Every structure is written in structure tokens, then in C-alpha cells.
Amino acid sequence: MTAHNRRPLPKRGLVWLSVIVVALAAPLVFRSDTALNIGILLLLYATLAQAWNILGGLAGQISFGNAVFFGIGAYTSTVLLVRAGVSPWLGMLAGAALALVVALLVGFPMFRLGGHYFAIATIALGEIASTIVTNWDAVGGATGIVIPLVRDAQGQPSDSWRMLQFNQSRLPYYYLALVLLALTTLVTALILRSKLGYYLRAIRNDQQAARALGVAVLRYKLAAIALSAIFTAIAGTLYAQYLLYIDPETTMRLDLSVLAALIAILGGVGTVAGPLIGAAVMVPMSELTRAFLGGGGNAIDLLLYGGLIVLISLFEPQGLIGIGRRFRRSPRSQPVTVEPAPISSSEEAH
Amino acid sequence: MNSLTRRQVLRLGLAGLAGGLLAACGGQATSTPTPAKSSGAATSSTATAQTPTTAATATKATTATASTASGSSKTIRIGVIFPLTGTAASVGNDAKQAVQLAVQLVNEGAPDIALPLAKGGGLPNLGGAKVELVFGDSQGKAEVGQSEAERLIKQEKVVALLGCYQSAVTKTASAVAERAGIPLVNGDSSSPALTEQGYQWFFRTSPHDGDFSKIIMEFLQALTQQKNAGIKTVSLLYEDTDFGVNSAQALKAEAQAHGLQVVGEVKYKANATSLTTEVQTLKGQNADALVPSSYTNDAILTIKTAQQLGYLPKMIVAQDAGYADPAFISGVGANIAEGMCTRSAFSVDITQLKPAAAKVNELYKKAAGKDIYDVPARDFTAMLVLLDAINRAGSTDPAAIKRALEATNLGPNDTIMPWKGVKFDSKHQNTLGTGIILQIRDGQYRTVYPFDVKTIDVTFPLKPWNQR
């Protein structure tokens, strides 16, 4: 995993710069609302995957319960908005704070479980949370909550920055999601270079050894889950404002937790670029196969989508980022860079 | 060495994948003219629609009918969103067949069916313009419904939307339609909230949970008052979903209004693996009647468990869904299901009273291989209501279509439903739609209430388990 850190910085900076330019310019080139919709979903799911990556990739704690934090973000801001007219901007902060508290509360007992048991516990956590919300009438229960449209004097749906709702053009949603993803990615990159990042990787590689060396394992795992929860919750608020409707099915489903993990793992777990690459491939793949093949009702789109996932994970367990490395490395054939064995790193991911 | 062969395998895989994708896209591109061909064949003579093979090819195509072959200059594109994959896929695909049939009637005609626009030749007020359907698959997920609504409106340039079965999906799709100013006609979502949120572009032709709950309680009241069934208390059993919870709320309100006492409610987790505790609780409540709201798997499990535990109220009247699914009867066995009732908006024996419904069912049976039932019949009706409005608007302008929808005024003989007609109130809810009560008799659903549209006399109470 450390091999890519050795490459000269300026070149990598150039790649990132061009990614940012492309992301900023994309909606100005692809102007259709369909493309914009794919773009927004891509950025939101990439954020989910990146936030998952902090906990699952860097710290090696495979979580299938991140939808809980997503749901907390979506529900907190929406309930505050619908019940008390609180701006979703404040609701977003409240949701992030609540997610942080819940993350610490559930992380404390759950991090005592190792490996697969932690993963199973997170599934249980997700199910518990979704059952609570489904049966909690004060937050809409099973029926969910419809966020009322902001309308202008003529009764036409209009835009409102205060209410974080954009009905005329979806462009603001795109850039807000882009800012959130950039922030999440920046934090991940900073963690990777910081002391925290080294501690987390030490925990991932061998928890016992890390503890023996004096790393406060529980404390750093809690830091990882807290950061993961905060960004996931903010994405939840944004998603609720984009969809204008939330129910336990859409915000707390196990699918969503799995999707976050799937995108990160397919893209390349534990790297900064992995979740972004994963989302950039998976989201358009899912949307486009459905758009072209979905109307027939014969599930060819889902078969193709599933088949692609199987192929990628079969042939490149390191994720899509591994494919890129493979092609880049082959002409140089330096003995040092060939060294990281893909098999062992794939075992960590599972 | 190892890595080299791996790389080769990888490249091969990727190449194969790319090939597959290309083939798939190519298949899609070439499939567009295919429906035109088949519909062209069907348009050449209306009689061909009667032969099973052409009817099958016409409905198998992704778009029901494309007017490219018919020579008409104008095509009206309507977007349709259903759950074509996922747990509700079978209902979604049956509904798809039904709306395709509705469009086929308008485009190609079936002169012997006395329904508006069924004379054929497209929409007369638009110069005989043909209708083309573009389908979207919601997968039964609210967020996918939003994406599909967005795509159909912006990319496929549809002038109106129809769908989307699950209330949650209809909620997100209707928000998209509202933003874009495109009418969305819904024929099959029962959550009252949909018409309560004050959307200007949303129309519902079907009754909602409130109307349906009313007919259930009315039926129980009528059984007691007119037939001495002695039903005074009711238990509710419902799943913990949008459908179940809303249904229970409406049922409670209507029970009170009809002088029935709800002695207990049991909420359970949808798709449960065991309902033993729930049925035990119901048994303890010992109500005269049980009103369950469940989908097929849970409905079968409930009745099987009730039989095991010896729980049997005087009457069971279900809130549609699983109990109205023919798979329920085959799942528990016809003799076990005998005598149980469910509300519905349609029953195939209505065809005995409505000749138009009988003919529509004939055509549907040829295309889908089974009788038309509640949801497909409601969507068939919703599609005809929408086409009627577009025709009266004489324009494809969404605002004109919306105004025409608001002015809709159809009578009892303009639909295949046992309704008084279609007329929208200020919230765009059809005020003339009603539910009916069906009873399972010898493995068939028979209409027993309202008494003026019944095809058979209701029997009660339910026969003890050991006498079946």
C-alpha cells in the first residue's frame, strides 16, 4: 500500500488537478439533466465510499452499517426542517453531531469484536436502526417524510439556498456534492500522511502488534468511525434534500451500506483515489445499463452490472486502482515496485 | 510469469466485457425499429391483433407501438415507470402488459369495445397521432424512481408520466414531475398522502386507502345489519411498511365511523419467517373479524399459522395485496382459502356485468397468458384516462394536458372498472372510484359487495378448519 507514496509528488498533483478541473467543468459540458443526475449520484456515492474508506480501508474495520449514519443525517435535518422549519444547513450540522455521538456510543462496545464479528455486528446495528425508525411514528415511521417543495409567489417550484433546495436547475446540488466529496477526500489524504494514518494502518495490519508498540487501538478506531460517521451523515442530509423524500427503505437499507463498501473495495481499498475510481465506474454503469436495457423488465441491466462486478473482483482483487498500477508498472519493471503481493493485500480487504 | 498470465486473462476479460457491452448497446439500437415492424404488421389489419402470435410480438416489444411505420407524422411519447425487476416485478410486468394493451386499442383500434378512443387510428383531435410508450424500471426503489422520472422527462421528452405502483416510488417520481411541470397519472398507489401534498401535476384515478378501508368496514356493517352476521369487533394485522401502517390508520378511522370496535392491532416485520407470536396474539384478542394488510408471502404464512394454531374469526376481510393474488389461493390451497374476503378495485367476474371489460380481458389474456386483475386493470384505466385527456387537449403541451385532466368527466360505461366514473377533485383524486369486496369461492375470486354489483351471494361465517 505504501508503494504509491514513493512516486514524485508533482506528477500526482497534476493528476489530481486535472481531476478537479474535469469535475468542475463536467456539468458545463454535459448539460442534460440526466447526465447531471448521474453526476450528483456519483459524487454522493463517492462520498459515502470515501467515508467508508476511512473506517474500512485505512483502519481495516469492515463496516456494513454506515447507512445508519447516512440515515441519521437524512432524518435529523429533515425532521428539524419539516417540524420546526430549521434550515437544512443547521440540520446538517446537527445530523453530523448526532452521528458522531452515535458512532462513539456504538463504536465503544463494537470495537471489542475482531474481524468478521465486527462486520456482523455492524449489520445488526443497521437492522436495529432501521427497525427503530420504521416503527417510530414521530419521524414518519414506515411512511417516511416528504419534504415540501419551495415555491415562489406564482406557486412554481423555485430555488432556495436557505432551504437547500434547487428545483429550477440541479447544478447547485452537483457543486455542493462536489465540495463535500473534495472535503472528504482531502481529510482522507491528510489522515494518510498524518500520525493517525500510520496508527490506523498499523491497526489494520496487525492489531496485536500495534497495541504492543503502544498504539491506543480503541482511541484511534473511534477517531476513524467518528470521521466516517460525520461525512456520511452530511451526505445523508444532501441526499434527502436532493430526493425530497426519505423513508427507512431509501436511507437505512443494508443495500446502501453494502454499496458504500462495494464501491470502495472495487475502486481500491485504503487508497485516496480508490473510492473515487470505484464510484466513477460503478454509478454510471448502474445508471446507463438501466437506461439502455432496464425498460424491458428482463433484468439484463442488473445481470450485466452484476457480471461486471464479479469480473472486476475476480481478476483484480486490489480493485480498479490495481489495474492502473499494473499497466503503469509493466514497462518500467523495477524490481522494487513489483514487490507488493496482491494476494496478501486482498486478504486484508476481506 | 504468474503475473503475466494474470494480465492476459485480465485483458481477455476486459475485451470480452467491452464486446458484451457493445453487443448489448447494439442490440438496443437495433431493437428500436423492431417494435415498429411488429406494430406495423399489426396495424395492417385489426384482425391480426386477435391472433395470439402477433399480439404476443406486439406486446413483447419494449415500446408497445411506434408510429414510424404507420406513416403518421406525430408521435406522442408517454413515460411509464413500473417495478419491472425486484420483489414486485410480476405485478409490474402485468401492469406493463395492460398499459401496452390500452395503447394498442387507441393506436390500432378494437371497434367492438365500447370505450372512449377504442375506434382506433390514434388520437383524432391530434390528427390521428399515435402513442408511443417509453418504459422505466424503478426496481421498486424510491431513488431509482426519481432517476427514471428525470430521464424519461428530460432525455426521452415524454409529455406525461404514468406509474409507479409502490407509493414510495410514486412520491419521488411525482416530485420530479412537479418540478418539471409534467402531468403524472397514477392508477395504482394507495397512500392517501400522495394526493394530500397539494401537487398540481399529480392525478390519481384509483381509490386510496381511505376509500378502500371504508368499503371493508361498510361490508362488515352490512353483513351484520342486513344478514345478521353478528360482527362487532375487529382485529388488525399489518406489516411495518408504508402500505401496512397507512392501511391500519385508515381502517381504524373507518371502523369507528361504522360502529365497529377495533380490539387489537398487531404490527409485524414484512417478509417475516414466523408469525406464530402474532397469530397467538390475534387468537387472544378473539375479535369477530380479522382485517389483514399483507403481501403474498406473509398472507400465506398468516393463514397457515392460523390453521396450525386453530385461530379462526367469523370472517377475514383483507386489504387487497397478498390476499388478492391468485398465488395466495394456490399457496394455502383452495379449500383452506374458501370463504375469505378481500377488497379490490376490480375482479374478472365484473366482466359478466360489463361487456367492454370482458373484451379487454380477452385481449389481455392473449397477450399476458392470464386474466386481467386488480392492478393491471387499474393501470389500463389510468392510461385510457390520460389518453382521453391528451386527445381532448388536442395538444402535447403539458399545461394543456393538465387542464384537460382537470376537466375529465367519464361515466360508468367509459371504463372497465365497477366505478361511477372518473372525475378529479381539487386535489386531483378521482371522486367516483370505489372498491369492491371479493370472496374466494372454489378457488376463484367472486364479487360479493356492493350488493348491486355482486355476481354471487356472500357466505358466512368461515367454515371451521376441521370441516374443510
DSSP, residue by residue, B335-389: HHHTT-EEEES--GGGGGT-HHHHHHHHHHHHHHSS---HHHHHHHHHHHHHHHH
Whether B184 has a pLDDT exceeding 90, the answer reads yes
Task: For residue B408, give the DSSP letter.
Answer: -
- Confidence band, pLDDT 50/70/90 cuts, at residue A9: low
- B151:A34 CB<8 A: yes
- Nearest-Å Rg of the Cα atoms of chain A is 20
Report how far residue A224's alpha carbon sits from residue B286's, in angstroms, rounded to the nearest whole number: 53
In whole angstroms, what is the distance from residue A302 CA to residue B272 CA?
26
Instruction: Give A106-113 contacts, CB < 8 A, sequence gap 24+.
Output: A107/A221, A107/A222, A107/A225, A107/A226, A108/A218, A108/A222, A111/A61, A111/A217, A111/A218, A111/A221, A111/A222, A111/A225
Contacts A323 to B, Cβ<8 Å: 10
Tell which residue, A261, A254, A322, has the closest CA to residue A45.
A261
What gap in Å lies between CA B444 and CA B341, rounded to an integer? 11
- Check A245 against B147: CB less than 8 A apart: no
Which residue of B142, B175, B244 is in closest CB contact with A142? B244
Give the pLDDT confidence of A206-257 residue by residue, as tens digits: 888 999 998 899 999 999 999 999 999 999 999 999 999 999 888 988 889 9
Q: What percent of chain A has pLDDT over 90?
A: 47
CB-based contact A113:A218 (threshold 8 Å): no
Is A290 in contact with B200 (Cβ distance < 8 A)? Answer: no
Under 8 Å between Cβ of B374 and B435: no
Residue B78 bridge partners (DSSP): B133, B160
**DSSP assigned state of A65:** -
CA-nearest residue to A239 within chain B is B143
Rounded distance, CA A250 to CA A339, Å? 43
Instruction: Convert the pLDDT of each residue in B17-71 to its tens digit.
Output: 555 444 444 333 333 333 333 333 333 333 333 333 333 444 334 444 443 444 4
pLDDT of residue A334: 44
Interchain CB distance below 8 Å, B179 and A304: no
- Which of A247, A293, A330 faces B24 most closely, judged by CB atoms? A293
- Please write down the long-range contacts of A152-158, taking CB distance under 8 Å and 24 or more positions apart: A155/B200, A157/B178, A157/B179
Of residues A7, A42, A6, A49, the one with CA closest to residue A22: A42
Residue of B381 and B198 predicted with greater confidence: B381
CB within 8 Å: A33 and B154: yes
> Do the Cβ atoms of A304 and B171 come within 8 Å?
no
Q: Kindly report, residue by residue over B372-427, the tens digit of the pLDDT.
A: 988 999 999 999 999 999 999 999 999 999 999 999 999 988 999 989 999 999 99
Which residue, chain included where needed, has cell 403481501?
B295
Q: Which three cell numbers stand for residue B233?
A: 369487533
**What is the percent of chain B where pLDDT is above 70?**
84
Measure CA of the first residue to CA of the last residue in chain A; give whole Å: 16
Residues found in chain A: 350
ipTM over 0.90: no
* Confidence bin at B11 (pLDDT 50/70/90): low
CA–CA separation, B101 vs B56, rounded Å?
11
Q: Which residue has the higher pLDDT, B25 or B353?
A: B353
Residue B188 contacts residue B375 (beta carbons within 8 Å): yes
pLDDT at A330: 56
Dihedral sign for Cα atoms in the order A45, A50, A56, A57: positive
> Stretch B333-345: mean pLDDT, rounded?
90
Report pLDDT digits (tens) over A138-184: 888 888 898 988 888 888 888 889 999 998 888 999 999 999 999 99
Chain B positions in Cβ-Cβ contact with residue A243 (cut-off 8 Å): 142-143, 146, 172, 175
Reported confidence tier of residue B87, pLDDT bands at 50, 70, 90: confident
Which of B84, B90, B170, B174 is best to mutate for the A interface (most A CBs within 10 A)? B84
The CA distance from B306 to B287, in Å, is: 14
- Count contacts between A and B (CB, < 8 Å): 132
Sign of CA dihedral A258, A260, A263, A267: negative
Q: Give chain B positions within 8 Å (CB) of A245.
A: 142, 168, 171-172, 175
Q: Phi and psi (nearest 5°) for B434? A: -140, 160
- Is pTM beyond 0.95? Reply is no
| Distance between B170 CA and the closest CA of chain A, angstroms | 11
Check residue B18 and give its pLDDT. Answer: 53
Residue of B nearest to A127 (CA): B269
- Residue A339: the pLDDT is 38
Higher model confidence: residue B88 or residue A265?
A: A265
How many angstroms away from the CA of B193 is the closest CA of chain A?
9
**H or E segment at B75?**
strand B75-82
Least Cα separation, residue B44 to chain A (angstroms): 25
Q: Which of B193, B244, B267 sits opposite A146 (nearest CB)?
A: B193
* Neighbouring C-beta atoms of residue B229, cutoff 10 Å: 19
Question: Does residue B204 surpass a pLDDT of 90?
Answer: yes
Chain B residues with CB inside 8 Å of A157's CB? 178-179
Q: How far apart are CA A328 and CA B4, in angstroms?
A: 14
Contact A237, A88 (CB under 8 A): yes
- pLDDT grade for B76, boundaries at 50, 70 and 90: very high
| C-alpha to C-alpha distance for B221 and B223, rounded to whole angstroms | 5
The answer on pLDDT for B433 being more than 60 is: yes
pLDDT classification of B14: cutoffs 50, 70, 90: low
Instruction: Answer whether residue A189 shows pLDDT above 70.
Output: yes
- Find out whether A40 and A174 touch, Cβ atoms under 8 Å: yes
Using only C-alpha atoms, chain B has a radius of gyration, in whole angstroms, of: 24
Distance to chain B for A11, nearest Cα, Å: 26
Check residue B79 and report its DSSP letter: E
Residues from chain B contacting residue A330 (CB–CB below 8 Å): 7
List the alpha helices (DSSP H) in chain A.
Answer: 9-29, 33-52, 67-84, 88-110, 115-134, 171-193, 195-205, 207-212, 217-243, 248-252, 254-267, 274-293, 300-315, 320-332, 342-349
Give yes or no for a contact between B109 and B42, defined as CB atoms under 8 angstroms apart. no
Residues A171 and A147: their CA atoms lie apart, in Å, by: 19
Substitution target in A290, A301, A305 with the highest count of B β-carbons within 10 Å is: A290
The string of pLDDT tens digits covering residues A80-123 is 999 999 999 999 999 999 999 999 999 999 998 877 899 999 99
At residue B73, the pLDDT reads 53
Distance between CA atoms of residues A180 and A182, nearest Å: 5
A143/B242 CB distance under 8 A? yes
Contact B241 A134 (CB under 8 A): yes
Tell me which chain B residue has its CA closest to the CA of residue A170.
Answer: B179
CA B314, B251, B216: angle at the middle one, nearest 5? Answer: 55
Cell numbers that stand for B336 in this block: 383452506
Q: What residues of A are in contact with residue B172 (Cβ under 8 Å)?
A: 243-245
- CA-based nearest residue to B171, from B141, B206, B134, B207: B141
Residue closest to B138 by CA, chosen among B150, B126, B128, B125: B150
Rounded-to-integer distance, Cα A341 and Cα A331, Å: 18
| Nearest by Cα to B100 from B325, B326, B384, B375 | B384
Question: Measured between alpha carbons, how far is B302 from B305 in angstroms, rounded to an integer?
Answer: 5
Question: Which pairs with CB-CB distance under 8 Å and at least 24 residues apart come from A325-330?
Answer: A325/A3, A325/A4, A326/B3, A326/B7, A326/B10, A330/B7
CA angle A246/B246/B197 to nearest 5° reads 55
B38 Cβ neighbours under 8 A, 6+ residues apart: B54, B57, B58, B60, B61
Contacts of B28 in chain A (CB under 8 A): 292-293
Contact criterion met (CB below 8 Å) for B24 and A308? no
Judge whether B289 and B460 are in contact, CB under 8 Å.
no
Does the beta-carbon distance from B143 to A250 stay under 8 Å? yes
Average pLDDT over residues B133-140: 92
The stretch B104-112 carries a mean pLDDT of 89
DSSP B13-50: HHHHHHHHHHHHHHHHHHHTHHHHHHHHHHHH-GGGGG
The C-alpha of A41 sits at a distance from chain B's nearest C-alpha, in angstroms, of 9
What single-letter DSSP state applies at residue B465?
G
Pairwise CB contact (< 8 Å): A131 & B21: no
CA distance B64 to chain A (A): 11
pLDDT of residue B416: 92
Q: What percent of chain A has pLDDT over 70?
A: 89
- Measure in Å the smallest separation between the Cα of B178 and chain A Cα atoms: 8
pLDDT tens digits, one per residue of B224-273: 988 888 899 999 999 888 788 888 989 999 999 999 999 999 999 887 78
- The model's confidence at residue A30, banded by pLDDT at 50, 70 and 90, is confident
Considering only the beta carbons, identify the residue of B168, B178, B244 that sits closest to A247.
B168
